[in-house]
Amino acid sequence: MGLSRVERVLPGTRWLRGYTGQFIVADLIAGITVGLTVLPQGLAYATLAGLEPQYGLYSAFVGGVVYALLGGCREVTIGPTALLSLMTSRHTGYGGNSGPQLAILLCFLSGVVELLMAVLRLGALVDLISLPVTVGFTSATALIIGASQLKALLGIRGGSGSGFASTVRTVIANITEARVADSILGVVSIAVLLALRKLKDIKTPPEATGGRKIVGLVCWLVATARNALVVLITSFIAFYCDQRGERPFILTGTVKSGIPDFQLPPFSTVLPAGGGPNGTSSLELGFTGMIEELGASIALVPIIAVLGNVAISKAFGGSGINPTRELVALSLSNICGSFFSSFPVTGSFSRSAVNHASGVKTPIGGIYTGALVLLALGVLTPYFQYIPKAALSAVIISAVIFMIEYEVIRPLWRCNKRELIPGAVTFVLSLIVGVELGLLAGVLTDVAFVVYRTARPILTVTVANTTLGMQYILIRPNHSLIYFPAVEWVRNVTSKAIKQHGNIPVVFDCRLVNEFDYTAATGLQMLRKELEKKQIPLIIYGSSSEVRKLLQETLKSSLLEVTNDDELETMLRDISTEGGKHELREVAIPLLAPASERSPSVVEIDDS
């Protein structure tokens, strides 16, 4: 009982049950492999975020430990990612200590917002981001990140342009200043990284013998640890040159050694002279000032973080994953991380894939990764200064290049071109205006389509006949909601149908309608009054009990209502006897048959 209570608070402790030698070895191998990926990525992403390299490592060890205690999907590895680094970089350009301080506060606040999302069950907000929007967003982000690395890759110095277009322009304008050694190192590194990545695809046949098997294993190891390998080799080259008194490459420079202090996230900062957004004098920012500076990022970073995390845990964990628990794990990774000077973190798709491929058994693998990172911080930092910046850029570029997706375009183009629009809007606006506004615009475009469909439901208009041959207009919404924006549409279609087919009874077929709202019911009442003026009866057919209740409450006066074909026949006969206007013909029609079989005269009015 005691244990199960612990397990409820720290679900990760259940992994310890039967955590045998075999599991320990598997997790250890996976943890170290992931560590060899996160070390170079962490250094690179910190630079991308506009921070000193050690912050990437500070961000890389807390998430693994917290997730091991709280998470539910063994493959997920939490740490710095290209996307969040890019979003953080918006706030790190003011110089002095303000960069890391704002980044750490953003990490803390992201965690708090994520916790709020978990408590208020707002995690479902990411449901609003459709696949085309996600693809447009990540593709644009990949391009922006790739472009931002071009300068370091080519050894071009100078202030970083923030947008995609300005970055590309800066690179092109300064292309003559590109340093040959850096460029060669960068391009070769990318080529090697992409080639090594291909090594993974060489499959060892299961019946392979010893030697063949070892070759296969080595290939896999080299492919998986390729980032670390490239960084190691290029650093050796730089170190060797340095010892000979040559410095052909721009190097990372001193990386601060040691484990970061455990301390509260900063709640004030100073924007140094010339760095602030408002000009030249140095500016002290209190907590509210920092909040203002972070602005929309406080909401957007968590949403992007959750989106990434949900995608990963879905891909690896299936629907067995408890989303709230994942959200809490992510939230505490950020909150705890901010006490160790971390910038915002989330699940990394590439490292989770490495983790999976390395045969991880439990999230405890993340603890081994964390230990390796701490070890590196304590011991390896003196050597990090020799890492060429071009090599780190190569690591980033060869990672984000696979975030550009275009496979989604073909099926959409074939089936549903309309869905390309939100994706295109997101992609283009992300590149031109910024990723936040691009994402927002994409989601709003999607929402606009949803609202449009609700406002313009597909209405099937059929001129049908009773068994006695009496004609009537059957108007059937092929839509389950009749809500306020659809009222005018329904009225217009009905008016048109009457103009076309004459003053015969109108049957409004509610059998596919689940929900009616008050505005729509009032609109139906107005329609009925209008038809009454022309002496046309309006019959409601097959409304559900809730719909009927609302209609009766709104329309007050007694409604003409029928629930099945027999009642419809009877009512239409009664009407024709009273009115005596309609002649009788004998055409039987099965009402539930498809519209095309139902009647000799079928008019389909569709808004598409």
* 549 contributes a contact to its own copies by CB under 8 A: yes
* 446 contributes a contact to its own copies by CB under 8 A: yes
* 480 contributes a contact to its own copies by CB under 8 A: yes
Pairwise CA distance, residues 411 & 453, whole Å = 22
* 451 contributes a contact to its own copies by CB under 8 A: yes
* 417 contributes a contact to its own copies by CB under 8 A: no
Q: Which residues, 68 to 127, sit near its own copies by CB under 8 A?
A: 124, 127
Place of tokens 């409304």: 543
Measured from the CB atom, the residue of 232 and 444 that comes closer to its own copies is: 444
Measured from the CB atom, the residue of 111 and 422 that comes closer to its own copies is: 422
Neighbouring residues of 459: CB distance < 8 A, sequence distance ≥ 6 = 475, 476, 477, 478, 489, 490, 493, 605, 606
Give bridge partners of residue 270 from the DSSP assignment: 284
Q: Which of 32, 89, 132, 37 is nearest to 399 (CA)?
A: 37
Measured from the CB atom, the residue of 335 and 403 that comes closer to its own copies is: 403
* 458 contributes a contact to its own copies by CB under 8 A: yes
* 546 contributes a contact to its own copies by CB under 8 A: yes
Measure Cα distances from 364 to 76, 331, 355 in Å. Answer: 11, 18, 11
* 453 contributes a contact to its own copies by CB under 8 A: yes
* 246 contributes a contact to its own copies by CB under 8 A: no
Task: Supply the minimum distance, in Å, between the C-beta of residue 478 and its own copies.
Answer: 5
Query: What phi and psi values does residue 387 have, to the nearest 5 degrees?
Result: -65, 120
Pairwise CA distance, residues 67 & 21, whole Å = 21
Q: Measured in Å, how far apart are the chain's first and last C-alpha atoms?
A: 61
With CB under 8 A as the contact rule, the residue among 23, 239, 267, 483 that binds its own copies is 483
* 318 contributes a contact to its own copies by CB under 8 A: yes
Measured from the CB atom, the residue of 389 and 476 that comes closer to its own copies is: 476
User: Which three-class secondary structure state does DSSP give residue 178?
Assistant: coil
* 131 contributes a contact to its own copies by CB under 8 A: yes
Query: What phi and psi values does residue 72 have, to the nearest 5 degrees?
Result: -120, 0
Measured from the CB atom, the residue of 232 and 315 that comes closer to its own copies is: 315
Task: Supply the minimum distance, in Å, between the C-beta of residue 295 and its own copies.
Answer: 20
Measured from the CB atom, the residue of 20 and 545 that comes closer to its own copies is: 545
Measure Cα distances from 491 to 59, 310, 430 in Å. Answer: 59, 43, 40
- Give the binding range for its own copies (CB under 8 A) out of 89-97, 234-242, 364-372, 489-497: 489-497
* 479 contributes a contact to its own copies by CB under 8 A: yes
Instruction: Tell me how many residues contact its own copies (CB under 8 A).
Output: 58
Measured from the CB atom, the residue of 265 and 422 that comes closer to its own copies is: 422
For 507, the enclosing helix (H) or strand (E) is strand 506-509
DSSP state of 564: S
Give bridge partners of residue 269 from the DSSP assignment: 285
Q: What is the token pair recorded at 340?
A: 């160790």
Task: Supply the minimum distance, in Å, between the C-beta of residue 555 and its own copies.
Answer: 10
Helix axes 226-243 and 21-48, enclosed angle (nearest 10)? 60
DSSP state of 323: H
Pairwise CA distance, residues 503 & 111, whole Å = 64
Task: Supply the minimum distance, in Å, between the C-beta of residue 466 and its own copies.
Answer: 22
With CB under 8 A as the contact rule, the residue among 39, 60, 473, 550 that binds its own copies is 550
Classify burial at 354, counting beta carbons within 10 Å of its beta carbon; exposed 0-12, middle 13-18, buried 19 or more.
buried
Task: Supply the minimum distance, in Å, between the C-beta of residue 416 and its own copies.
Answer: 6
Measured from the CB atom, the residue of 517 and 569 that comes closer to its own copies is: 517
Q: Which of 258, 372, 320 is nearest to 72 (CA)?
A: 320
With CB under 8 A as the contact rule, the residue among 319, 535, 545, 557 that binds its own copies is 319
- Give the binding range for its own copies (CB under 8 A) out of 25-33, 54-62, 176-184, 475-483: 475-483
With CB under 8 A as the contact rule, the residue among 179, 484, 559, 573 that binds its own copies is 484
Task: Supply the minimum distance, in Å, between the C-beta of residue 532 and its own copies.
Answer: 11
Give me the 510-529 binding string for its own copies, x by CB under 8 A, dash otherwise.
Answer: --x-xx-xxx--x---xx--
Listed as own residue / partner, the contacts of 219-224 with beta carbons closer than 8 Å and 24 or more positions apart are: 220/357, 221/33, 222/196, 223/196, 223/197, 223/198, 223/199, 224/33, 224/36, 224/37, 224/200, 224/354, 224/357, 224/358
Pairwise CA distance, residues 3 & 149, whole Å = 49
Q: Which of 138, 34, 14, 33 is nearest to 77 (CA)?
A: 34
- Give the binding range for its own copies (CB under 8 A) out of 248-256, 468-476, 545-553, 581-589: 545-553
User: What distance lies between CA 230 and its chain's CA centroid?
Assistant: 31
Task: Supply the minimum distance, in Å, between the C-beta of residue 12 and its own copies.
Answer: 22
Q: What is the signed CA dihedral for 380, 382, 385, 387, rounded to 10 degrees? A: -30
- Give the binding range for its own copies (CB under 8 A) out of 76-84, 301-309, 386-394, 446-454: 446-454
Task: Supply the minimum distance, in Å, between the C-beta of residue 456 and its own copies.
Answer: 9
Strands (E), 184-273: 269-271
Measured from the CB atom, the residue of 127 and 261 that comes closer to its own copies is: 127
The site for its own copies (CB under 8 A) is made up of 124, 127-132, 314, 318-320, 408, 411-412, 414-416, 419, 446-447, 450-451, 453-455, 457-458, 478-481, 483-489, 491-492, 494-495, 512, 514-515, 517-519, 522, 526-527, 530, 533, 546, 549-550, 553-554
